[in-house]
Each structure stands twice: as structure tokens, then as C-alpha cells.
Amino acid sequence: MPAFKISNPLKALDLTSLDLRQLNLRGAVAPAAKVLRDSAYVVVGVGVIAAQRVNARRYDLQQRLNDVLPGVRNEAQATAQRVFDEAGDKVRSVLTRRKNIATSDSNA
């Protein structure tokens, strides 16, 4: 297999003589900083809008539940009362039959 030699072209680059103070980097950095700042404002704005939508949906759901819950509670109470009344009627009919059977047995 042949050997490959890879040389580093950056090895010969000498940056020690570069004076960054002489370069006008403000002109190059300012647009990037503006884009980053604008992006941050957009992200914060989207977050605020999302939070407001969540709160609005929570409020709507709470209002719907407040409208529905009293009806559900009343229906549950009516059903419980109906079951209680039917059970009481059945118990009374069973007791009446037992009483009638006991009375007829004692008369015989």
C-alpha cells in the first residue's frame, strides 16, 4: 500500500505580526450582532405569543368545565337518588313479602 503524506498548509501561516487594532472589525461584526439581536427578539416574541395562547386555551377550557360540571354533578346526584330509591323500594317489597309469609305461616 502506498504511503500518503499530508502536509499542513496552515503551518507556514504567521499571525504574530497581525495587529487586530488596526483592522476595522466593527464594520464586519455590527451586522452579525444586529442579526443575533433581532433573532433574540423574535425568539422572545414567539415565546410570549405561545405563552399567551396557552393561557387563553387554559382559560377557555376552565370556562367550559365550569359550564359542564354543575350539569354533571346534578345528573350524578339524580342518578344516585334514583338508585337509592329503587334499592329502598326493593328492600321494602322483600320485607313485605317476608312479613306476609311469616303471618300466613303463623295463622296456619
Domain boundaries along the sequence of the chain: 26-101
What is the pLDDT at residue 99?
87
pLDDT along the chain (108 residues), means of 10: 69 74 65 87 95 95 91 93 95 91 76
CB neighbour list of residue 39: distance below 8 Å, 6 or more residues apart = none
Alpha-carbon Rg for the chain, nearest whole angstrom, is 43
| H-helix segments, the chain | 26-107
What is the pLDDT at residue 29?
64
What's the pTM? 0.44
The DSSP output letter for 23 is S
What is the pLDDT at residue 24?
64
